[in-house]
Amino acid sequence: MSDKMTVDLKVNGRRYVEMVEPRRLLADFLRHTIGLKGTHIGCEHGVCGVCTVLVDGQTARSCLLFAVDVSGCEITTIEGFSHGSELDVVQEAFRQHHALQCGFCTPGVLMTVRELLSANDNPTVDEIKHALANNLCRCTGYINIVKAVETAAAEMRRAKTGAAGVAS
């Protein structure tokens, strides 16, 4: 009798079906089973936020989830943000505002920002700070991160209005 279970996940649009131990964490599945190293592992207690990914569009701490528990879900990691060499609007805003330093927290922060902006394309500074409260950054002081989120939100609104204007 095998002690492994089947995990069937769609990660960044690609389907993975793998046999894993029942206690294999999603973070370990992403990093070690399918080789996506962008999801970082920090505190391993769900506190720091560096392991944050999107599970069916909602942020989740991959260090707290067993891969088998999210079988059938769609996972987005930092590797799924951009296509080719073109940066996602949020990544570009972070680049423009120098909103990262060492980069260790950045993938988790970007996941959180993506979730925020998908629900609210015009967040206030307080709403941005509240959304980022569970992502710890020891380098930046968050000032440029908040500026980057404001810029990304404005660009997304501009793109939405521009697209709506073309369609009419």
Q: For residue range 38-89, list pLDDT tens digits in order.
A: 999 999 999 999 999 999 999 999 999 999 999 999 999 999 998 788 899 9
Kindly indicate the confidence band of residue 167, based on its pLDDT and cuts at 50, 70 and 90: very low
Q: Which CATH architecture has domain 5-80?
A: Roll (3.10)
Q: Which helix (H) or strand (E) holds 5?
A: strand 5-11
What number does CATH give the domain 89-167?
A: 1.10.150.120
Q: pTM of this prediction? A: 0.91
Q: Where are the domains of the chain?
A: 5-80, 89-167
Any residues with CB less than 8 A from the CB of 112 and at least 6 apart, and which? Answer: 49, 52, 59, 131, 132, 134, 135
Q: What is the pLDDT of residue 140?
A: 84
Q: For residue range 25-34, list pLDDT tens digits in order.
A: 999 999 999 9
C-alpha angle 29/33/37, rounded to 5°? 75
